[in-house]
């Protein structure tokens, strides 16, 4: 199983969350599983960390580079360069 880990700053959490939730169909079409974890930094609630389960490594990589993801982040008010990592589970 692979996971996409994304951390970034947002201008407004409520606006970002709406955009994130509205982007779910695009994630699912790109191979996302139903594993979705959203975290807010307790010291800075506009710092968001997301962990998304993905069905396939190649599909996960493609999604992180997609125009759809970049546009969704921009529209949702992401204000920093996202830190994106692709992770895999170990034994």
Q: Domains of the chain, with CATH numbers?
A: 2-54+64-88 (3.30.70.100)
Give Cα separations from 46 to 13, 26, 41, 59 (angstroms): 6, 23, 7, 28
Please write the tens of the pLDDT for every residue from 14-64: 999 999 999 999 999 999 999 999 999 999 999 999 999 998 999 999 999
The model's confidence at residue 72, banded by pLDDT at 50, 70 and 90, is very high
pTM metric for this prediction: 0.92
The pLDDT score that the predictor gives to residue 91 is 74
């Amino acid at each position: 199983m692979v996971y996409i880990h994304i951390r970034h700053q947002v201008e407004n959490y409520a606006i970002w969350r709406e955009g994130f939730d509205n982007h779910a169909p695009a994630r699912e079409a790109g191979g996302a599983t139903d594993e979705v974890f959203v975290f807010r930094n307790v010291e800075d609630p506009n710092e968001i960390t997301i962990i998304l389960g993905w069905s396939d490594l190649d599909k996960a990589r493609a999604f992180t580079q997609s125009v759809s993801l970049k546009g969704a982040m921009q529209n949702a008010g992401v204000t920093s360069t996202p830190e994106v990592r692709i992770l895999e589970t170990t034994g």
